[in-house]
Chain A
Amino acid sequence: MSGAYRAEAGALDARIRAVIAAGTLDAAAFDDLACAIFAHQFHWNAAYAAYARSLGIDEARLPRTAAAIPAVPAAAFKDAALCTVAPSEAAVWFETSGTTQARSGRHYLESPALYEAALLAGFDRALLADGARLRYALLVPDPRERPHSSLGYMMAAVARERGDGPPGWYLREDGVDLDALAADIARAHLDGVSVCIATTAFALVALLDGLERAGRTLPLPPGSRVMETGGFKGRTRVVSRDELYRQAAAAFGIDQAQIVAEYGMTELSSQYYDSHASRGSARRVKEPVPWLRPIVVDQAGRQLPDGVVGAIRHVDCANRSSVVAIETEDLGAIVPGGLVLLGREEGAAARGCSLDAEDLIRR
């Protein structure tokens, strides 16, 4: 790494960390910061620069707004090392979704510091606004077994920095270790400590199925909460989120508003969470942290007006050492306060008699 690189990266990291610490960023400042990060990546991230150049961008015509920054498709992480430093110099890498496809990609991070600052600040805003120090019961991949799971890394960091002690990990190869979880919940009751269960949607279904089979519930101590993340793609059992939350609230003896969905991707350093205002409503709004902005685009990549459904693009200023703008196949619409995610059933009707990619994944 050259001195010039170190200086540039260090200055940007300092700007981003200042924004994270302040917890606020207006629209113009967001554009300014995102474009500065893109300019940095255009210079130092060869694969991203090649893609941007193929779209007509050069040093004299750099984007001036976040919406104009070329977004890399999430699948690109499988085809190239998208990093401002050589992969061998990256401190951390996370494996991108290989759950339903054979090949996975890697999200390289030059340093974990920015990632941890971003994820902790986001978690604090969404789940720890009351300053609670919770005991973490984790139904996500254990980093000791899957060191390149971004979700496992994230929750380990949260538990380490915000927990009342070592977390419990209950996800096993054959499902959820219900007995161990129940014993630890019982201990939390005795200790008078609130619990945060962080779980994938699929693990939550497995847990609820296990409780039902055992004919029991698992009431949590007062003040406890649940963070749920992820979907059911490629899974054999699909449950509507409303139904899942209803069952979970009943099993844990908590209000549904205490169940908070996180929406993120391995390719991002920042996350969305259900906004506080929407947690009591049927349609939850995913609120970005101030240094993360969703943009909804049409099939030509053009930005759509608020309220119109399209593909979601994320501009994440905490992705300083990888790619600032990422394009997904997820559907959503911008609404006041954030983003509403839409499932297939909420989009326009499918048409034709052709097989589609989703059918193939299910087979």
Chain B
Amino acid sequence: MRAIADAAARWRDADFPPRVRAAVAIERRLGYSQPVVDVALDRLFGGLTAAALEAAIADELGTLDALDGFVERPGRPPAWARATGAVTIVSSDTTIGVAIPALAFALAAHCTVTVKDRSDDLVAAFAETLAEELPAFGATLSVQRWSGGADKRESLVLGAAAVVVAFGSDDALLAIRARCAPGATFVPFGRRASAGYVDRAALAGDAAALAGAIARDALLYDGDGCLSLHLLYVERAADGAHERLVDALAEACADAVVEFPPGRRPPERAARAQAFAAAGAFRAAQGQGRSIRAADGAWSIVTDPPRDQPLPLGAGTLPVIFVDGIDDAAADLRERGIPLQALGVAAPGAADVTRLAEAFGAVRIAAFGSMQDPPLAGRHGGRARIADFVRWVDRA
């Protein structure tokens, strides 16, 4: 744990040469701007601390000692959380370092780990740092690159793994699962979207601060993450505060893209975002809703898009849907058929939030401004961090 945390600490330094090289390669691969890549790496390695690893493990296994031998448990037989065996982690081609938290927990569980890396070689570079901190990792961690689908190496690595962790689209996950061993544990992380909900109580507060936090969640990573804010429900207020929030959001979006420039947007996403904004502008011209967009297309806000219009889900777009309450929002979300990952709210501790999360089916509730900054000690996509990497041995 200490070695992993120490390696991560070195990567928190923005001038650490391997990080500098990786950042440039990530910018080249995905087209994100430098500030956005820096934030991603700061968050990735900033959260990878010994305290966070230990907290997550202690929560899931009861005690850290369970990884190293039998531990006594009141009312139950002593048990040992042994490494489950070989773990293969298939990185997504579209994300930044998503494999690294999973590999940290798999190594902590004493598993032998193989990671499929991407062309930026971020995981490979981090693995070198890990091996410098603890040479034994050189033998237990292997980072490779192969082409998906047809490469023989992939069949071998997937077929030999006791646990396969995979990130990607439905099609990619199906293809990977089909090549796993029959008894393997498959841990898929598919694509998801996230939403926010602003109630009347929040509208009565500081609109500029609220809008700033919302804009950050929507525009950091250009809205490409599963935890990015993709659509926002706002309760209608008798005094028109919901409309004023839209004005504040426009100002906040203009500021946010200065801080986090969207970079080189893939043409298809750009075209879809442009069409969505233009359709909103057309409806607005007919007296239906509002559409506000940056002159350069970096961001757009469209209110009340029709339910049957596919949302771009990111690419600088923020659909704002006015609702009368939670049930209204949940019905809209159901009709749009969007599986939700996170729910952003103004006050996560508020009484209605539990009902809201249940209605939305979200697995993470976060305050606006922190939707895309999940703690390492929390669960990922509603799943355990280390439990999949251990096999319990009971001693009767």
Binding site for B on A (CB under 8 A): 47, 50-51, 53-55, 71-76, 78-80, 101-103, 297-301, 309-311, 327-331, 342, 344, 347-357, 359-363
Asked whether B62 is an interface residue with its Cβ less than 8 Å from the other chain, the reply is no
Establish whether residues B283 and A79, one from each chain, have CB atoms under 8 Å apart when the complex forms. Answer: yes
- For B266, the chain A residues whose CB sits under 8 A away are 347-351
Within 8 A of A (CB), among B273-320: 273-275, 278-279, 281-286, 288, 294-298, 306-314
How many A-B Cβ pairs are below 8 Å? 178
B152 within 8 A of A: no
For residue B358, which residues in chain A have a CB less than 8 angstroms away from its CB? none
B337 within 8 A of A: yes
Q: Does chain A have a CB within 8 A of B63?
A: no
Distance to closest chain A CB from B165 (angstroms): 13
Q: Mark B220-252, 1 if CB is under 8 A from A, else 0.
A: 011111101010000000000000000000000
Contact partners of A311 in chain B: CB under 8 A: 267, 270-271, 274-275
Can you show 12 pairs from A to B with CB atoms below 8 A apart?
A54-B281, A73-B279, A79-B279, A101-B310, A102-B307, A297-B274, A299-B270, A328-B275, A330-B271, A354-B192, A360-B337, A361-B310
B267, A348: Cβ atoms closer than 8 Å: yes
Q: B residues within 8 A CB of A352?
A: 94-95, 221-226, 228, 314
- 9-residue interface stretch from B27-35, B122-130, B382-390: B27-35
B313 touches A331 (CB 8 A): no
Contact B297 A349 (CB under 8 A): no
Residues of A within 8 A of B392 (CB): none
Residues of chain B lying within 8 A (CB to CB) of residue A355: 191-193, 226, 230, 313, 338-339
Show the binding face of B for A, using Cβ within 8 Å: 29-32, 92-95, 98, 167, 169-170, 189, 191-193, 221-226, 228, 230, 264-275, 278-279, 281-286, 288, 294-298, 306-314, 336-339
| Cα(A328)–Cα(B276), bound, Å | 10
The answer to whether A354 touches B275 (Cβ under 8 A) is no
Which of B32, B279, B286, B307 is close to A50, meaning CB atoms less than 8 Å apart? B286
Q: Within the assembled complex, what's the spacing in Å between the Cα atoms of A309 and B265?
A: 12
Per the bound structure, the CA–CA distance linking A23 and B228 in Å amounts to 51
CA A72 to CA B284, docked complex, whole Å: 13
B312 touches A301 (CB 8 A): no
Given A342, A348, A351, A357, which contacts B311 in the complex, CB threshold below 8 Å? Answer: A357
By a CB distance below 8 angstroms, the chain A residues around B339 are 355
A197 to B62, CA, bound (A): 69
Q: How far is the CA of A328 from the CA of B275 in the complex (A)?
A: 7
In the bound complex, CA of A363 to CA of B221 (Å): 25
